[in-house]
Amino acid sequence: MTESCAEFPARHVFIKCPECRRVIDEARLHDNLEVCPRCGKHFRVSGRARMRMTVDEGTFEEWDANLASEDFLSFPGYADKLKGAVERSGERDAVVCGRGKICGCDTALFFMDANFMMGSMGSVVGEKICRTFERATELGLPVVGFTVSGGARMQEGVTSLMQMAKISAAVRRHSEVGGLYITVLTDPTTGGVTASFAMEGDIILAEPDALTAFAGPRVIEQNMHKRLPKGFQRSEFLLEHGFCDAVVPRGEIALTVGELLALHEGTCRPGGTA
Ligand SMILES: [Zn+2]
C-alpha cells in the first residue's frame, strides 16, 4: 500500500484566503512566508516559524526552553488546557526566547506564539521575557521582540497581571544602560501585553493590518454604542496616529530590523559580519 502511494506525486493542499476568498496552494503560501500572494493578507505563524523567517540560519541559541506553566491556582480546566496547548503547538509555553543574528547583527530575541493559548501571558511567558531582557542587559545586546497575544492569562490570576510590571522594570533597566529594544507588533497584540512591553519599544514596527489594542473594537463599540472608524486599531491606523513607527510587510522585516540593529551597533552591516 505504502509503495503504490509513493508512485503518486505529493498531493497539493489548498487553503481559502479569508480576506480575498481566493484559493491558494499551501506550498505557495508557505514559500511566500505565509502571506497571501493575491491580496497580501498576513496569516498567523507560530513563534518558532517566525524565528526561522527572521534569524540568520544556524545562529539561534534558545534560552529557558524547559520552563513550563503549572496550574498553581487549581483553576478549573487549566491543567487540561495547558496539556492540549503543549500537544498542539509542540511548545512548553507561549514564547520562544534566545539570542541569534539578524543580517549578521547579534541580538537577544523573543517570539510570542498565538498557537499556544492565543499567546496569553502567564508567569512563564513573563519570566522568560524578563530573563531575556536581563541577559541582554548583562551581555550588552539589543532586544528584538515579536508580540502576539490575547492578553494576560486569566487562569493565573493576579500573577499574570504582575508580569506587566516585572517585564516593564527589566525593559527600563535594559534601556538605562543604552540597550536598544525593537518591537514588532503582529496580529493580534492585545490586553496586558499591549499595555506593557509591546508598546515600550524604542522603535515599534508593525505587520500590515495587525490588530493592536488594549480592549478590542467589539468591546469598545458595545460600551460606547457607536460605530468605530474603518481600520480602527489596525497597524495603518496606529501609524497615522503616532502609535508605531513603520508598517513593514513580513518579507521586509528581517532586513529592516537588521538595518536598525546595524545603525545602533555602528559597526556591522546587514548581510555581513564586518
Ligand atoms: Zn488573499
Q: Whats the size of the chain, residue-wise?
A: 274
pTM for this entry = 0.91
Quickly count: other Cβ atoms within 10 Å of residue 40's Cβ.
Answer: 15
Give dist(CA 174, CA 141) in Å, integer: 9
pLDDT of residue 34: 96
- Ligand 1 mean position to 169 CA, how many Å? 40
- Ligand 1 mean position to 33 CA, how many Å? 13
Contact 235, 212 (CB under 8 A): yes
pLDDT at 165 over 50: yes
- Ligand 1 mean position to 255 CA, how many Å? 24
* CB-proximal residues (5 Å) to ion ligand 1: 17, 19-20, 36, 38-39, 41
Tell me the HSE value of 213 on the side-chain side, using a 13 A CA sphere: 17
Give dist(CA 22, CA 30) in Å, integer: 16
pLDDT of residue 3: 44
Beta strands 246-247 and 212-213, pairing class? unpaired
Tell me the HSE value of 77 on the side-chain side, using a 13 A CA sphere: 3
Confidence of residue 106 (pLDDT cuts 50, 70, 90): very high
- Ligand 1 mean position to 43 CA, how many Å? 9
Q: What is the per-residue pLDDT across 72-96, written as a single tens digit (0 to 9) for each?
A: 999 999 999 999 999 999 999 999 9
